[in-house]
Structure 1
């Protein structure tokens, strides 16, 4: 990563701040811009300084971390920290990246940092990752939820104006993204754009006609300008001119 991310640590417990400082000292890509002992200090700091990431304790005196988020017009990425599991899920209504339960282990800390890096590096609602040679997966941000999707589970994507629907074996995810951009990310050996609005997984195709592709009972139109490329990939050019 060429650009270092700047972070703010907000916690009323000095020991909790030191734990995060220790963890962050092992991460070259993130630098600590400042610390704050309560939500008011954090608010004032953010008014004067731009940060990319905020580690934010939920349970603080006078103003909770979740209340601080609501006061910010353009909050940075937020990773909540808390010793109280019952408070943690409140943060997912506020578009946070993750929450960490204290005491925070370095392994769990790194999982949260991985989520942050996915979006800080790409600046996008989508980030692609690989483990080994065959385990590609995507992080997709849908409002306040980040989905981790194995590429092998994607059945098709559908363009809906400025939004994109990604359909897997067991869920549908709607993100602000374009079909052209997702086309650049998905492996061309496994996916085929058949229409200006549809990309399908080649291995999921069960049948086709001169004008349609079928995945099970679902029918997808073949765009006129895509027909030649589609039937070439399907190795059946007899339909092209029909």
Structure 2
């Protein structure tokens, strides 16, 4: 089932979207909101596949709101202002742009695009992740990641070839990465498969030496021994 929410301050427009959604299969509406602030609270603890998003919201422009999200869902813009179309498609996650009033047939075309994008992600091999950096999704193979380093509000994913830096926190990734990625310090997650040596309270990945925090060592050693 593909999930969505509606962010639309006009209740009649919400009603139209809900009516159209009731006629579709495989789409579940989880919630609807009149302000970006309400939607933001929901998205902090819930994930959805896509959003119906009005551009002119009472508290913030819809596009500006989506730019504040670290990993935004797919978006279908719904607005009465066609002039915004070109600017909105600068965002990688925007799939379609519906100008009010739109027909059910036009609505279905947008839904089909969403279904294709969601299916594409689901059929991607599960040995990779996509990192959203400067509005661009970068595909990174999991087995190539050596470790992840946190520095204040920034994360760096380090591979043999590249470094990927973006705003995020370790706690948001420790549950997203597979089990062979283990947090060993308040600032580090390491790929167990790339550890070359453990010496006291330090691990070595190639020429890199990373400290093992005292509160993390027991869990780290348990998972390391289980993998080896």
Show structure 2 runs of 5+ residues with no match. 9-19, 41-50, 67-74, 79-84, 98-105
The TM-score, its normalising length taken from structure 2, stands at 0.52
Aligned residue-pair number: 180
In structure 2, distance between residues paired with 1:113 and 1:51: 21
Corresponding residue of 1:110: 115
The structure having more radius of gyration, on CA atoms, is 1
- Give, in angstroms, the shift of residue 80 of structure 1: 7.0
Corresponding residue of 2:102: none
- Give, in angstroms, the shift of residue 225 of structure 1: 2.9
Paired residues of 2:3 and 2:27 also in contact (CA < 8 A)? no
In the alignment, structure 1 residue 98 sits paired with structure 2 residue 85: no
In the alignment, structure 1 residue 154 sits paired with structure 2 residue 155: no
- Give, in angstroms, the shift of residue 214 of structure 1: 1.9
Distance 1:233 1:108, change over 3 A: same
User: What secondary structure is seen at the aligned counterpart in 1 of 2:204?
Assistant: strand
Corresponding residue of 1:25: 24
- Give, in angstroms, the shift of residue 162 of structure 1: 3.4
Paired residues of 2:2 and 2:27 also in contact (CA < 8 A)? no
- Give, in angstroms, the shift of residue 223 of structure 1: 1.8
CA RMSD in angstroms, aligned pairs only: 5.0
In structure 1, distance between residues paired with 2:122 and 2:173: 16
Corresponding residue of 2:132: 141
- Give, in angstroms, the shift of residue 201 of structure 1: 0.5
In structure 1, distance between residues paired with 2:220 and 2:206: 18
- Give, in angstroms, the shift of residue 112 of structure 1: 3.8
- Give, in angstroms, the shift of residue 29 of structure 1: 2.2
The TM-score, its normalising length taken from structure 1, stands at 0.49
